[in-house]
Amino acid sequence: MQELSIRESLIIPGPKGRLSAIVHKPRLKEGETCPMVVLMHGFMANKRMEPLRSIVQALDENGIASLRFDFDGHGRSDGFFSDMTVLSEIDDARAVYAYVAGLDYVDKVAFVGHSQGGVVAGMVAGELGADKVSCLVQLAAAAVLKDDALHGVLMGRRYDPNHLPDHLRVFFHKVGRNYFAVAQTLPIFETSASYEGPVCLIHGKEDAIVPYSYSEQYKACYKNGELHLLDKENHFLKKRRRDVVAIATEFLKRNLL
């Protein structure tokens, strides 16, 4: 049986080197076009992790192309994790957007971001505007990262926010000083609020990493946002993944097809 889509691994030139990506493209006839969803993973994650993989599969089944990529210093992309900041990831996302917007078979572009990837997706959508980004899905978007940096905490590790360390080891990663310095001054909601297209926010009520109140703040700043708070769900959106995928996919279909 023929696969629904064509899967291709590729390299996209980024500001800090090569960005590793995977594209899923429907089997189109010559001259046909389709929408493209760019998916952005979270802090210390990569393009092959959930919930992005499940969303890609659902998009495949509905004739929507997708591209997921590793941010600099993550997965198979170039760069060092210790040099990564939210601003460097925003630069990566801009480069990926420029790539997909230049593909002749792409007629619309949407963003999906989980955790820190949700913050990046929201800020880049705010910069680009609804004429370039047709819609946006934010999954447990980690806007808490600014407040955490101001209070000197990251994944349970504490540091002096007024005297930033050169590096902080978190699990198997070293987070660099610039990450915290950037996070402390990020205009997360201010930039995201410039986006006037449709937004779908999904957040678990039992999220111990990013309280769902941050998605409520996102909802308040958007002109065209919908918020889905899921009982018995945490930050990794695993317990009710079918619901997460269904909500995200239906929203994308409604706004792209």
Residue 4 has pLDDT above 80, yes or no: no
Average pLDDT over residues 96-101: 98
Residue 80 has pLDDT above 90, yes or no: yes
What average pLDDT does the chain have? 97
What are 36-67's pLDDT values in tens digits? 999 999 999 999 999 999 999 999 999 999 99
The residues spanned by each domain of the chain are: 5-143+187-256
What are 167-226's pLDDT values in tens digits? 999 998 999 999 999 999 999 999 999 999 999 999 999 999 999 999 999 999 999 999
Distance between CA atoms of residues 54 and 193, nearest Å: 28
At residue 251, what is the residue type?
F
Q: What is the CATH architecture assignment of 5-143+187-256?
A: 3-Layer(aba) Sandwich (3.40)
Average pLDDT over residues 94-111: 98
Residues 6 or more apart whose CB falls under 8 angstroms from that of 244 comprise 51, 54, 139, 202, 230, 233, 237
Closest CA relative to residue 18, chosen from 99, 139, 106, 115: 99
Residue 42: which region, alpha, beta or left (left: phi > 0; alpha: psi -120 to 50)?
beta
* DSSP letter (8 states) at residue 132: T
pLDDT at residue 2 in the model = 54
Residue 85 has pLDDT above 70, yes or no: yes
User: Model confidence at 3, in pLDDT bands (50, 70, 90)?
Assistant: low
pLDDT at residue 1 in the model = 43
**Pairing mode of beta strands 135-139, 167-170:** unpaired
